[in-house]
Amino acid sequence: MPGLGTLLRVTETGGDVQHIRDLPGVAPELTRALADALDALAGSCTLFSEQLAAGSVHEHAFGKLIDAASVRDAYHGRLPATKTNLAEARGVAESLLAEFAEPIPTQRETGD
């Protein structure tokens, strides 16, 4: 059972157990829900970025469109920007999550 002021949480990515700090005046389940939402957001950003890379449009596909040059330029301009935005969103989510989560010390670190 978690001690007062912390909740135990298992992350899906690494399986590490972490303490989640409670916020004064906020129900612990709400803090946990926020941490879970931030973790899911970070994972979704990674997944969507990978899906964008896997679903890239080949250069020859633009040749049959009416405004091929402008569509191609927009695609090549927005795709890197989208990947950058996803990386930044993931970084923000992970940064916010780090404010709530702290790794539990291992036995080696505690000397037990």
Summarize pLDDT for 74-104 with one digit per residue, the tens.
888 888 999 999 999 999 999 998 888 755 5
Q: Give the β-pairing of 101-103 and 6-10.
A: unpaired
Cβ–Cβ < 8 Å for 69, 99: no
Q: What percentage of residues in the chain have a pLDDT greater than 90?
A: 22
95 within a domain of the structure (yes/no): yes
Average pLDDT, the chain: 77
1 within a domain of the structure (yes/no): no
92 within a domain of the structure (yes/no): yes
Residue ranges of alpha helices (H) inside the chain are 28-54, 68-100, 107-110
How many domains are there within the chain?
A: 1
Please choose, from the candidates 5, 20, 37, the residue with its C-alpha nearest in 3D space to the C-alpha of residue 103.
20
Cβ–Cβ < 8 Å for 71, 29: no
16 within a domain of the structure (yes/no): yes
51 within a domain of the structure (yes/no): yes
> What residues are paired with 102 via a beta bridge?
19
Residue numbers of the domain that contains 42: 6-110
First-to-last C-alpha distance (Å) of the chain: 19
84 within a domain of the structure (yes/no): yes
